[in-house]
Amino acid sequence: MLLVRGGVVVAMDEVRRVIHGGAVLIEGDRIRAIGDAGTLGSVPGITRTIVADRHILLPGLINAHNHAFQTLYRGLGRDRSLADWSTRTIFPLSRGLGRAEVRAGALLACLEMLTTGTTTFVDSHYIHCDPETFDGLAEAVVTSGLRAVLGRAAVDGPVVPEPFRETPFDAARRAEEAIARWHGAASGRLRVRPEALSERTATPALIKAMSEVGRRLGTGFNMHLAESQPAVAHVRETAGCSPLELLEGLKATGPDVLIAHAVWLEETDLEILARTGTRVAHNPVSNQYLAVGIAPVARMLAHGAVVGLGTGGAASNNSLDMFGVMKSCGLLQKVSAGDAAILPAERILAMGTVDGARALGLQDEVGSLEPGKKADLIAVRVDRPEMVPLHSVYESLVYSAAAAAVDTVVVDGRVLVDGGRVTSLDVSAVLAEAASVGDRLRRQAGLG
Ligand SMILES: [Zn+2]
């Protein structure tokens, strides 16, 4: 058994246990106990002890929305609107994406997430001419040791260049193939969900086809929704309703459905969220980067919606740092509500951990430090200037902590970052390969 002995254990369980001088005992891939370090230290059968007494131990962060391949495009979409960013940056660059390129970008994404405290992420894998690119993504996740819900996304709308489009029939068939190959792989660390990219890039027929695959196979379904005002206007013009009403009409809402962004929701949409239990991934940094607006997160929560937090892809963030996302989430809601107390830090940390797990349907497995759950945890150093004095763990984790303060990461009981050293990946090789592939794609796309 592995004992991680921490200074402060922040469990994020139902009663929000905070244990000073605490520890987490891990047996195999599961948490066996949390409690007092002295008591757990005397349990027989401990084969390794990680001393993390200058740390906060907390559940690994859950990034509820990412596009791993976009690490290769980091910095190339600067100062563009969402529509411009898609057509002038993402589409031209993505023509060169094959299995090897996606694998290189995804390994870089996994490395960045691991070293900044994310243990589970949701990926939206879209805009590819080659179905095998999904395998490159899945291979990278397996190698990295991370846990992930991989969205096998498809597009068929006229705004998307022809080589990227798939018919609803082909997309559904390939999504089923991806699920057969990867759903449950790596001892259950991988999950696969079908995804229709967004209301502008996917026709209602594609949304219906992909959501039906998710329902039939019990995987759930993902989609970008109401990210921008033009996206909402498109649905109003073509279907005469809001994007969420369109989804409800297609029977594509529910607790097994995760919508990314949901920036532009009407009051009636908030009621649909509450009534159907549809989950939301909020991406405050990406929303600011692309200037799409401020999602009504506090109002969603007031309606009882389950909201997780995501980075969005590295081409609209431009990092995969969930600590930055949590801080941005809090600041944006304070400013938009004109109320400094609108969203307490404890609630924001819940969105980055236990609520994120609920958003993904993984609440029985991860999101909090509790006996029986998967052993996914991180240790954040507190012997750093920004963490002293430690008056409030929640305030410090959300508003002060630097991602670089994470020096220990455990996923599925495996120590993937051990005192700052990454054990599952060859760091220099991952960096060199991604830099080289990124350069090549940029040149091929004629972007300098
Ligand atoms: Zn996205």
Q: Taking a C-beta distance cutoff of 8 angstroms, is the pair 225, 199 a contact? A: yes
* Residue pointed to by tokens 């590295």: 314
- pLDDT tens, position by position, 210-255: 999 999 999 999 999 999 999 999 999 999 999 999 999 999 999 9
Strands 2-10 and 22-27: antiparallel
CA of 51 to the centre of ligand 1 (A): 38
Residue 128's pLDDT is 84
Query: Residues of 123-143 as b/e, b for ≥16 C-beta within 10 angstroms?
Result: bbbbbbbebebbbbbbbbbbb
Q: How far is the CA of 250 from the centre of ligand 1 (A)?
A: 21
Kindly give the distance from the C-alpha atom of residue 226 to the centroid of ligand 1, in angstroms, as a whole number: 11
The Cα angle at residue 128 between residues 115 and 160, in degrees rounded to 5 = 120
Task: Summarize pLDDT for 89-123 with one digit per residue, the tens.
Answer: 899 999 999 999 999 999 999 999 999 999 999 99
Rounded to the nearest angstrom, the distance between the alpha carbon of 443 and the centre of ligand 1 is 24
What's the 286 CA to ligand 1 centre distance in angstroms?
8
Phi and psi at residue 383, to the nearest 5°: -90, 50
Give one DSSP letter per residue of 287-306, joined into a string.
HHHTT-----HHHHHHTT--
Of 135, 128, 139, the C-alpha closest to 93 is: 128
Counting Cα atoms < 13 Å in the Cβ hemisphere of 336 gives: 17
Distance 436 CA to ligand 1 centre (A): 24
Question: How far, in Å, is the centroid of ligand 1 from the Cα of 94?
Answer: 15
Q: How far is ligand 1, taken at its centre, from the CA of residue 311, in Å? A: 9
Rounded distance from Cα 37 to ligand 1 centre (Å): 41
Cα 241 to averaged position of ligand 1 atoms, centre (Å): 22
Distance 167 CA to ligand 1 centre (A): 21
Name residues whose C-beta falls within 8 Å of residue 22's C-beta, 6 or more positions apart in sequence.
Answer: 6, 7, 8, 9, 34, 35, 36, 37, 57
Which helix (H) or strand (E) covers residue 330, if one does? Answer: helix 322-337
CA of 287 to the centre of ligand 1 (A): 10
Low-confidence ranges of the chain (pLDDT < 70): none
**CA 336 to chain CA centroid, nearest Å:** 24
pLDDT at 374: 98
Q: How far is the CA of 71 from the centre of ligand 1 (A)?
A: 13
- Distance between the two ends of the chain, CA-based, in angstroms? 52
Query: Residue 118 and residue 43: Cα distance in Å, rounded?
Result: 29
Work out the burial of residue 92: count CB atoms within 10 Å of its CB; fewer than 13 is exposed, 13-18 middle, 19 or more buried.
Answer: middle
Please give the distance, rounded to the nearest whole angstrom, from the Cα atom of residue 417 to the centre of ligand 1. 27
Q: Report CA(195)–ligand 1 centroid distance (Å).
A: 11
Classify 51 as helix, strand or coil: strand
Across the chain, which distance is largest between two alpha carbons, in Å? 67
Query: pLDDT value at position 81?
Result: 85
- Both tokens of residue 127? 């805009």
CA of 224 to the centre of ligand 1 (A): 6
CA-closest candidate to residue 123, choices 110, 114, 112, 132: 110
Alpha carbons within 13 angstroms on the beta-carbon side of residue 43 total 24
State residue 35's pLDDT score.
98
Q: How far is the CA of 55 from the centre of ligand 1 (A)?
A: 33
pLDDT at 172: 98
Q: Containing H/E element for 15? A: none
Beta bridge partners of 10: 18
Cα of 24 vs centre of ligand 1, distance in Å, is 34
Beta strands in 204-320 (DSSP E): 221-225, 257-261, 279-282, 307-309
What is the distance in A from the centroid of ligand 1 to the CA of 283?
Answer: 9
> The whole model's pTM is what?
0.98
* Ligand 1 midpoint to CA 281 (Å): 10
The rounded distance, in Å, linking the Cα atoms of 23 and 50 is: 10
φ and ψ at residue 281, rounded to 5 degrees: -110, 115
pLDDT for position 141: 98
Closest CA to 448 of 86, 82, 89: 89
Q: How far is the CA of 310 from the centre of ligand 1 (A)?
A: 9
The three-class DSSP label of residue 374 is strand
Could you tell me the distance, in angstroms and rounded to a whole number, from the CA of residue 375 to the centre of ligand 1? 28
Looking at 250-318, list the stretches that DSSP marks H as alpha helix, in order from N- to C-terminal side: 267-276, 284-289, 297-302
Token pair, residue 32, equals 């066996």
User: What is the 347 CA–ligand 1 centroid distance (Å)?
Assistant: 23
**pLDDT at res. 123:** 98
235 C-alpha to ligand 1 centroid (Å) = 18
Please tell me the distance between residue 84's alpha carbon and the centre of ligand 1 in angstroms: 15
83 vs 278: CA distance, rounded Å: 26
Q: From ligand 1's centre to the CA of 258, what distance in Å?
A: 12
448 vs 77: CA distance, rounded Å: 13
